[in-house]
Structures are given as C-alpha cells and as structure tokens.
Chains A and B, each alone.
Chain A
Amino acid sequence: MPVFKLCLKIFIKKLPIIMIYVSLFLVISLLIAGATKTDREKGFVQTKTNIAIINYDQSPLVTGLINGLKEIAHIVPLEDEPSTLQDALYYRKVTYILRIPEDFTEKFLAGDEVWIEKTGIPNSIDAIYVDLQVNQYLRIAGLYKSQSHIDSAMIAQHIQKDMENETKVNFSGGEEVQQDQSYAMFYYNYLAYSLFSVLILGISTIILVFKNQDLRRRNACSPISAGSSNFQFILANGVYAVICWAIMVGFCILFDYKNSNTPNTLLFLLNSFVFTLCAVSISFLVGNLVKNQDGISALTNVIALGPSFISGVFVPQEFIGENVLKIASFTPTYWYVKANNTIANLNSFDMDSLRETMGYTGVVLGFAIAFLALALVVGKKKQLSQEA
C-alpha cells in the first residue's frame, strides 16, 4: 500500500499546522463552554412563596384553610397595620395577604354572602397560585355544606382528606428529566469550524500534491493500477478524516463524560460524523480547484469561518437575523448546527421526536453527496485535459 503510506506520511508532515487548529479548538471549547454552561433543573422541586394571613376567625374551617395553605406557602407573621402590610408587599417580603373576618365561618355556614379580603402583588404568578388554592378550598367547603348539615370541623376534615389525594404527573416522553446537553451542544457546534479547517488543510493538501502533473504522470508509469491507487488514496483520506473526527468528539466525551451516557450523545456523534463526510467532500472539491498551498489557506478561512459566523457556530441562531439565516441555509454548517440544537433539547427518542433531527442531518448528507459529485466531475475533467 505505498500510496496509502505516502498519504499518511504527508499528513504527519502537516501535523504541526493541523495541531495548531486542534489545540486552539480545544482551548476555546473549554473556555467558552465553561462560561456558557447553564444550570438546568435536574427534577421538579416545588417551591413555597411567602404569604401573610390576618385571621380573626379561629374556627376549624379557617384553621383547615390555613393548614392547607401552609403546604404551598410560608406563612409570615405580620401585624395588622396598614403600613406594615404595604411595606411587606412593596419589599416582596410577602406576595399575598389574606384577611379573614371574625364572623366568616358563621356566615359561610348560614349561607350568607361572605367576603375574605386578599391583597397580592400585581401579575404575580405566586399570588395567583395561592388564590387558586384558597378558591379551591372554599369551593369544596361550599360543596360539603350544600349536601349535608355538618359542622365546620367535619367540613375541614373532609376537605383535608380530599386534598391529600394527589394526581401523579409524569413528564411526557421520559421518566427522567434530560441531562444537561448545553456543553455538548456548544462543543459540537464549534466542531464545525475546527473540523472543517483541519480536514480542508489535510485533504486538500494531499490532493494538491497528487494533482501535480509530473507526479501524476510518474505514478501512472508505475505498475500500480489506477483503481488500486485511487482506493489507497481514498482510504488514507478516510482514515485521516475518521481519526480527526474521533479525536475531536473523543475530547467532548472526555470533558463532559457525566452527560455523555445519553442517546443525545449518539445523535451528536451521528450528526458530526455526517458533517465530517460533508467536510471531506468539500475538501476534495477545494483540492481540485486550488492551484497552490496559499489558495488552500485562503479557502480554508473562507469556507470554514464564513458559514460558521452566519450559521450559528459562534453566535446562537436565535440571535442571527432572518435574512442572514436564509443565506446560511445554503451551507451545510447551518443544518448541522440546527440539528445539534435540536438534539440538545431532545427528551424523547421515538421516531416522531427524531424526525426533525434526522431531517437536518439528511440535508447535511445531501450536501456531502452533492459536493462529492462536483469534486469528482472537476477532478475527472482536469485529469482528461492533462491526458489529451
């Protein structure tokens, strides 16, 4: 396999330049990923809000209401002074104040119209939630009172019993809440730039070397068939691409091993591998188009950096203008990043959930096939012109 070995030797000679890209990628990945890591909830924990209750009715019914509210809120003791209560609301010491009048239970059981006074912070979700609990308690109490003539203690007991029955809530699509994929998402997005750079630099350089007419003719004089030579050439480039990909994704798994044991990681790997194929195709095309090493360096910057800027590698797609994203959608990087963003938010892994991700990855694969076809046409055309 002389051609295969030769390609690997040339890759190794280019290693210092390639390592600069890889090292830079790893350092930036670590720095930025560390800075952008978000603290996501790893489960649902009920929080309690602070409320105050000014109670002038010590009946069992009201005591039951207060006990019920204690389950969802902290009761803050406050004096019944208007200024104290206003300050408590203003400074968010409490979000909700409930005032229960002295004859509340009596009037309630007699069927008279009764009022309890409530004061809450405007538009506060916490206050609305407490409000709902109070209304629910009183509605159930009203229900028991209308059905039978029972005293307030009995009503309170029934309500307590009823409210102890809770409905179990499951998160749809998974029993466990997803693990944090924000680091992986950033890492794999940034991979688009680094992988592109490294592959174009390596593969295009090899193609440029072999494209040299004198060397091509010299090799054509040898007893190695064109088929075998091409096979060895493609194999070497494939090995190089897979090694680059494996090293880069390997570091992600190493850095983020706690969150890597998920189906999301498999999808990230699949998506990045398909993107690697696309980058290889583009590298083939670049190698066939450029005439010297300077051209490769220039095109590496344009092809790797340009789409990365407009496709959401460095700046999230949410912050990029619609028109820019429309332009970006003509590049594989855009679809690759879109797929990564979708994968990061996946909790369910059935076909319906995966359809969107697979669609984006499919577009990247389409780009890979198109660029490969283009590279083969350009390469063949140039070869034929040399043989004529």
Chain B
Amino acid sequence: MIVHVENLVKRYGELTAIDHLSMDVRQGEIFGLLGPNGSGKTTAINCILSLLKYDKGIIEVFDKPMTPYAYDIKKDIGIVMQNVAVFEELTVYENIDYFCGLYITDKIQKEAYVKEAIDFVGLGDFIKFSPKKLSGGLLRRLNIACGIAHKPKLIILDEPTVAVDPQSRNKILEGIVALNRQGATIIYTSHYMEEVEQICSRIMILDKGRIIAEGTKEELKNMISLGEKISVEVFGLSEAHVKEIELLPNITSVTYQNHTLDIKSHKGKNNLENVLDYIRKNGINFGTIYSEKPTLNDVFLEITGKELRD
C-alpha cells in the first residue's frame, strides 16, 4: 500500500476537522479526495505529510510509519500545495531548481530534471520570469513543476486548479494523467467533481471530516437511486401534464420552470422513450432534449442532502 490511514482524528478545540478517517491508496492509482470547502481534505493531506499533529490514528506511507523525521519517505513524495508555495524573489527556473535541489543532490541529474519539469508544464518561455509576472494559470503550473521535478513515486496535489482558466486546467489535468502513466501514484484533492470524475480511478467523498462514500465513480453512482436526468424544452405545459408525467414508470420527480421540464428517474430502460411518447401523444410542442447520467454531485446531494458546491 502506498498510503494507509487508519482512524485518523484531528481536532481544533471543539471542532473535529477529521473524524475517524481511514483510507488506502494503492500503487499506480489516481486517488481522488472530493468534498466541499472545509470538508477536511487539506487537513487530511497535512496530517498524512506530518505537517500537522493529529489526535489519533495511524498513518503509513510506503508501508512505513509517517513522522516529521521520516526523511527516507519524504524523498519519494512530491507535494503541490493548495496555496502556491514559491519564492517571489526567485525566477521560475530558480524556483524549480531550488525545490528539485531539496531532493536531488547530483547537479547534472538535477539540471536534467528541472528542464524536464519545465517542458512538462510548458513554462519554457517563462524561465526568467518572476512569479509575480505570471498569470494565475502559469503560477499554478510553476507550483506543480516545483512539486514534481524530482520524479517522486507519490504525488499529492491539493486543489491544484483553483482559480485557473479552463485552458490551463485542461493542461494540468492532462499532465497529472501523464505523470500517473509514467508510474507515479497520485492523490488528488478537489471540490470540482468534474475533475475528479475525469481523472481519478478511485474516489473518496468527504464531508465535515467524515467519509460519506468511497469507490470508483461507477460504484459511487450505483450507490444512489437516481438513474437518469432528462431535460426537455417544452412550451405551454399545464399543471395537469406535469402531474401525469410524475405518474409514468420509474419517475421520481418532475419540475417545470422557464419552459424546461426536468425529470429525474430511477435506473431503468426506456425512461426517455416513455417521456417522449407522452409528449407526442398529448401534442405538446418540444425543442431540445437532454438526457444525462447522475454525477458525483448527485451522489453527494443524495447522501448529504446538499449540493457539493454549498
């Protein structure tokens, strides 16, 4: 096991930030920690890295107990902090060179790794730039380069795409997948369910320091009753029609607002077909039709009763 956490408890006075968290991260996977802001993701990461003292629990990395003095473990970990942690006084190159130098002592090897990291994050044109002169997206890429330059076996990325433009975000996510393909095990925390869903092989959802669900994205979606969401653009739908649609098989809820009919149904075949049959038979004019599978937000919503972005 790359990371093993057992019954981790971390309290700040009366507040329990982490409540009996247990998790296992296997070699070669991209493990996602998903949860809203304040759910305990960063606290859990800081405990795993021994940056924070915790009240209870066992943490092992590479099958060895993790302590602040476990330098043989730390040399194989790469960390990309939630807040960009670079030196404003240094250039892009100097920053990557410094952080890589904390792990790699051989000068030639270090130079090669730094160049690789620069190419990897696409900062080749900015190596002499001060971090102050970089855009938010480029700064995040620099933060990532500083964390991965030394080619660690385990990479922990704590919300690396916060406040990043879509183009940079895609670049970062592609990079993370590439790092995983190169053999690194990755722990990825985020409150963006789309990102976690896109790249993670296993996902743990946290809320208020507690695990509310864990598994692959398919496993998570199978945990809930929602099977399909259908949206139909219709004009002039009466109250009676809405009530009749609610009575169709598998349908769990129907809402009609702003000419959009939103239908949620249990898992089952022909849900969309049944709805369309009803619309056609009743001569209702309709426009665009969407049908989508449940997302992790739906999983979170069904389990906690609130939106993931709350």
Contact = CB atoms under 8 A, between A and B. Distances in A.
Interface stretch (B69-77, B166-174, B232-240): B69-77
Contacts of A226: 68
Contact of B53 (A14, A217, A387): A387
A224 interface: yes
Interface stretch (A5-13, A44-52, A241-249, A312-320): A5-13
Contacts of A388: 52-53
A221 B90 contact: no
B126 interface: no
A214 B75 CA distance: 19
Range, interface on chain B: 20 to 34
Interface residues of A, number: 23
A167 interface: no
A217 B89 contact: no
B85 A222 contact: no
Contact of B89 (A2, A9, A221, A223): A9
Interface in B46-91: 46, 49, 51-53, 68-69, 71-72, 74-75, 77, 79, 81, 83-87, 89-90
Given A219-B102, A224-B102, A6 B87 contact: yes
A388 B71 CA distance: 21
A217 B46 CA distance: 9
Contacts of B103: 222-223
B306 to A, nearest CB: 30
Query: Interface residues of A: mostly helix, strand, loop or mixed?
Result: helix
B99 interface: yes
Contacts of A215: 85-87
Interface in B127-168: 146
A6 B52 contact: no
Nearest to A225: B71
B51 A13 contact: no
Given A9-B90, A223-B72, A388-B53, A214 B85 contact: yes
A137 to B, nearest CB: 82
B79 A13 contact: no
Nearest to B146: A218
B89 A209 contact: yes
B81 A218 contact: yes
Given A9-B89, A214-B85, A221-B74, A2 B69 contact: no
Interface in A181-228: 209, 212, 214-215, 217-226
A186 to B, nearest CB: 35
A193 B99 CA distance: 36
Interface in B89-141: 89-90, 94, 98-99, 101-103
A209 B74 contact: no
A214 B79 contact: no
B51 A220 contact: yes
B68 A220 contact: yes
A93 B140 CA distance: 90
A10 B90 CA distance: 7
Contacts of A2: 98, 101-102
Contact of B85 (A14, A218, A223, A387): A218
Given A214-B84, A218-B79, A222-B74, A387 B52 contact: yes
A13 B81 CA distance: 25
A225 B74 CA distance: 10
Given A217-B81, A218-B81, A223 B53 contact: no
A9 B89 CA distance: 8
Given A215-B85, A215-B86, A224-B71, 7 more contacts: A5-B98, A6-B90, A218-B79, A220-B68, A221-B49, A222-B99, A387-B51
